[in-house]
């Protein structure tokens, strides 16, 4: 049904408010499922590594902020190309969209390889730079190195998946991300733990295992990502109705178009660096608080991410809808759909916040056997739930801006919010309240961020216009 509604929008036909709501919801559901699978994969890694003890969890937690930074960069690289696909599909120019697919994939792959090279150059020194204890530095370095090798494949997942989404196919990336989650479970099961014998149906069954511990978790996640990347690429270039390769259509690399699309991506890349560097700074603030605090902080971040599922799913849908509406020249509809998406994101994340508050102890129990880590993680999670609706507003608003191709404003707002509010507050409160103070500072910053994103959209009125 969502394809029919998108087609009506591209043809210039009227859409009722019910049609608009249905379109946003139907496009959001597969994207939310993709977020669910990604978060489940984080839960799996966290819970499996958590069984190895607080030290192993702290090793992964120490470099997790830097893995977000690097993966965020690889994700940001493709944004300009994916948005251009939305414009060209919305403007009924699938041949031009396919041209964007070709040069966009190659450019994203090359730049992701550059990010990988930087990671491999610094992986040994990074845990020491972040203030990690000597006991966890070796595992942290190994995890980060293996993760870095996977970055070009993550770049393919982000860019190819984004192009499929912006063409209106939200289902395929969702299914493949779920498959990646399943593969991650399988690979981790055999790679993290050593061989062991268990009783099943009254019989002793030997389960083989590599016993690679933290390194096994990194390898398992990387193998799952590589499989997903290859399948995502095949879906885009072979199976996609609008974007699959055609005979007679050559591979062109128009420099002006590449530069134009990268100009859209560059502010998103800057935003990823800004946020990633702030997360690294946050890790540096938490590190002196001890191994328990590092582990609790890492697990709490993973647990809180359950609230992000609807926000980022609706944000992806908003980018597609707003981008296609802009390509079709539907300015008024573009504005209505943008605000509808933001309202829906705030509502959905508010509901998830209630769930998070109630489920916090159980979620921490699933991820770690350490009582001290469970108590600290549950406590800081419950400090943060009140901010989720406003956090949802900023997440979805950023998706709307991407659909408009206006990526500079979100980057400026995130710079102000992260570095002039979050980091000073977290540093100030950490010395007075410990880990609780760090999370209280984060919560205040997320409230501030949501408010300034909403005010920026109102003030600029960027989605205004007439059809």
Q: How many CB atoms lie within 10 A of CB 199?
A: 8
d(CA 321, CA 348): 18
Smallest Cα–Cα separation from 178: which of 63, 37, 19?
Answer: 37
| pLDDT number for residue 327 | 86
| pLDDT number for residue 428 | 93
φ, ψ for residue 208, nearest 5 deg: -70, 150
| pLDDT number for residue 42 | 64
466 CB contacts (<8 Å, ≥6 apart)? 331, 332
| pLDDT number for residue 341 | 93
| pLDDT number for residue 467 | 41
φ, ψ for residue 209, nearest 5 deg: -160, 150
- Residue linked to tokens 């994939």: 105
pTM of the model: 0.78
Biggest distance spanned by C-alpha atoms of the chain: 72
Give 58's Cβ-side CA count (13 Å radius).
Answer: 25
343 CB contacts (<8 Å, ≥6 apart)? none
Smallest Cα–Cα separation from 278: which of 31, 108, 118, 446?
Answer: 446
Spell 52-73 as b/e; 16+ CB within 10 A means b: bbbebbbbbbbbbbbbbbbbbb
What crossing angle do the helices spanning 151-166 and 213-234 adopt, rounded to 10°?
Answer: 40
- Residue linked to tokens 């994916």: 82
Q: What is the mean pLDDT of each run of 10 residues along the chain (467 residues)?
A: 72 80 82 71 70 80 82 88 90 89 94 95 90 87 93 94 89 88 88 83 83 90 94 95 88 86 88 82 86 86 81 88 86 88 93 90 85 91 90 93 88 93 93 91 94 88 48
d(CA 347, CA 405): 25
d(CA 23, CA 15): 10
| pLDDT number for residue 46 | 67
| pLDDT number for residue 406 | 86
- 3-class secondary structure, 328: coil
Indicate the Cα dihedral angle 234, 237, 243, 247, nearest 10°: -150
Helical segments of 78-133, H only = 79-90, 94-122, 126-129
- Cα end-to-end span (Å), the chain: 24
d(CA 81, CA 76): 10
């Amino acid at each position: 049904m969502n394809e029919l509604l998108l087609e009506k929008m591209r043809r210039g036909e009227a859409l009722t408010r019910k049609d608009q709501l249905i379109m946003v919801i139907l496009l959001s559901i597969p994207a939310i499922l993709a977020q669910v699978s990604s978060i489940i994969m984080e839960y799996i890694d966290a819970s499996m590594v958590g069984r190895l003890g607080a030290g192993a969890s702290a090793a992964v937690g120490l470099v997790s902020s830097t893995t977000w930074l690097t993966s965020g960069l690889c994700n940001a690289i493709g944004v300009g190309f994916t948005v251009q696909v939305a414009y060209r599909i919305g403007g009924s120019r699938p041949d031009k969209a396919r041209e964007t697919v070709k040069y966009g994939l190659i450019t994203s792959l090359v730049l992701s390889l550059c990010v990988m090279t930087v990671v491999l150059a610094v992986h040994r020194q990074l845990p020491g730079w972040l203030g990690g204890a000597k006991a966890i530095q070796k595992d942290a370095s190994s995890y980060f190195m293996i993760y870095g090798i996977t970055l070009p494949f993550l770049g393919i997942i982000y860019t190819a998946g984004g192009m499929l989404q912006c063409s209106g196919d939200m289902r395929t990336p969702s299914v493949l991300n779920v498959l990646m989650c399943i593969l991650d479970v399988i690979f981790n099961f055999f790679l993290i733990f050593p061989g062991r014998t268990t009783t099943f149906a009254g019989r002793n069954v030997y389960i083989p295992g590599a016993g690679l511990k933290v390194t096994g978790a990194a390898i398992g996640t990387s193998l799952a990502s590589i499989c997903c990347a290859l399948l995502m690429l095949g879906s885009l270039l072979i199976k996609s109705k609008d974007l699959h390769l055609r005979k007679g259509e050559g591979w062109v690399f128009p420099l002006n178009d590449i530069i134009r699309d990268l100009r859209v991506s560059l502010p998103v890349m800057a935003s990823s660096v800004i946020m990633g560097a702030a997360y690294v700074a946050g890790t540096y603030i938490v590190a002196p608080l001890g191994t328990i605090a590092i582990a609790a902080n890492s697990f709490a971040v993973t647990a809180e991410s359950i609230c992000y599922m609807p926000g980022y799913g609706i944000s992806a849908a908003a980018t597609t809808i707003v981008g296609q509406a802009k390509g079709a020249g539907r300015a008024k509809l573009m504005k209505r759909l943008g605000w509808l998406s933001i309202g829906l994101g705030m509502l959905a994340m508010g509901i998830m916040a209630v769930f998070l508050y109630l489920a916090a102890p159980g979620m921490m129990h699933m991820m770690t056997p350490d009582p001290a880590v469970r108590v600290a993680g549950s406590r800081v999670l419950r400090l943060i739930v009140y901010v989720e609706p406003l956090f949802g507003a900023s997440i979805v608003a950023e998706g709307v801006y991407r659909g408009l191709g206006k990526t500079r404003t979100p980057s400026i707002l995130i710079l102000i919010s992260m570095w002039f509010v979050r980091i000073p507050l977290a540093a100030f409160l950490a010395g007075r309240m410990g880990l609780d103070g760090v999370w209280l500072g984060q919560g205040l910053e997320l409230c501030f961020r949501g408010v300034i994103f909403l005010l920026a959209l109102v003030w600029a009125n960027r989605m205004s216009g007439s059809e």
